[in-house]
C-alpha cells in the first residue's frame, strides 16, 4: 500500500529565458517572447508530494505545519515576488525554465526530515505543467 500526500503552494515571480551559450538571434528564435529583455512574470502553482508510512498515532505521513514551514523557509521566502534570474543564485548560471525550477525546488525540499519527497510538480500557467521526481542528475 503506497500512500502519498500532496500540498499545493503558490508564488509569483518573474524570469527571462536567455542562454549565455546562444547568440542573441538564437535566443530570440528559441525562446520567442520569453526572451524579452526585461523579463515577465507568472503565478506559479507548486505541488509538493511526500511518500511514506502513515504514523498510526497521528494518521499522518508528515505534519503539514512542519511542511508548510519548511517550504516557506526554503522556497517561498526566496522565490515569491522575486526576479528569478537575478535573485536566486542558481539561475545566474542556468536558464530559469520551469523544468530547471522543478529541479531546484526538488533539491531544496529533498532534505525535508518528515517524509520522503516523491515529486515536485509546477504549473507555470494553466496550460503548462512540469514534474520532477528526482530520477535525474539533480542539477540545474
| Residues in contact with other proteins by the rule CB under 8 A | 1-9, 49, 51, 54, 57-61, 63-65
Query: CB-wise, 103 or 115, nearer to other proteins?
Result: 115
Annotation marks residue 74 as catalytic: no
Query: CB-wise, 95 or 120, nearer to other proteins?
Result: 120
Query: CB-wise, 34 or 60, nearer to other proteins?
Result: 60
Annotation marks residue 15 as catalytic: no
Name the active-site residue from 24, 26, 40, 81: 81
Annotation marks residue 81 as catalytic: yes
- Cβ-count burial 5-43 (b if 16+ within 10 Å, e if not): beeebebebbbbbbeeeeeeeebeeebeebbeeebeebe
Taking the C-alpha atoms of residue 118 and residue 16, their distance in angstroms, rounded to an integer, is 28
Q: What are the helix (H) ranges across 22-83?
A: 24-31, 64-71, 77-79
Name the active-site residue from 34, 47, 74, 87: 34
Name the active-site residue from 18, 102, 104, 124: 124
Query: CB-wise, 64 or 77, nearer to other proteins?
Result: 64
- Max intra-chain CA distance, the chain: 60
- The C-alpha cell 515569491 sits at 80
- In angstroms, what is the minimal distance from the CB of 110 to other proteins? 17
Work out the angle at residue 121's Cα, subtended by the Cα atoms of residues 69 and 105, and round it to the nearest 5 degrees. Answer: 50
Q: Which residues are catalytic?
A: 34, 81, 124
Amino acid at each position: 500500500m503506497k500512500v502519498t500526500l500532496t500540498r499545493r503552494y503558490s508564488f509569483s515571480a518573474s524570469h527571462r529565458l536567455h542562454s549565455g551559450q546562444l547568440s542573441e538571434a538564437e535566443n530570440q528564435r528559441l525562446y520567442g517572447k520569453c526572451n524579452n529583455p526585461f523579463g515577465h512574470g507568472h503565478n506559479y502553482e507548486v505541488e509538493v508530494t511526500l511518500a511514506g508510512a502513515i504514523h498510526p498515532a497521528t494518521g499522518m505521513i508528515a505534519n503539514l505545519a512542519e511542511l508548510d514551514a519548511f517550504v516557506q523557509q526554503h522556497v517561498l521566502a526566496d522565490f515569491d515576488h522575486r526576479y528569478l534570474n537575478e535573485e536566486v543564485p542558481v539561475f545566474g548560471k542556468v536558464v530559469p525554465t520551469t523544468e530547471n525550477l522543478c529541479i531546484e525546488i526538488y533539491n531544496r525540499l529533498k532534505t525535508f526530515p518528515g517524509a520522503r519527497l516523491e515529486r515536485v510538480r509546477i504549473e507555470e500557467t494553466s496550460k503548462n505543467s512540469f514534474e520532477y521526481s528526482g530520477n535525474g542528475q539533480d542539477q540545474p
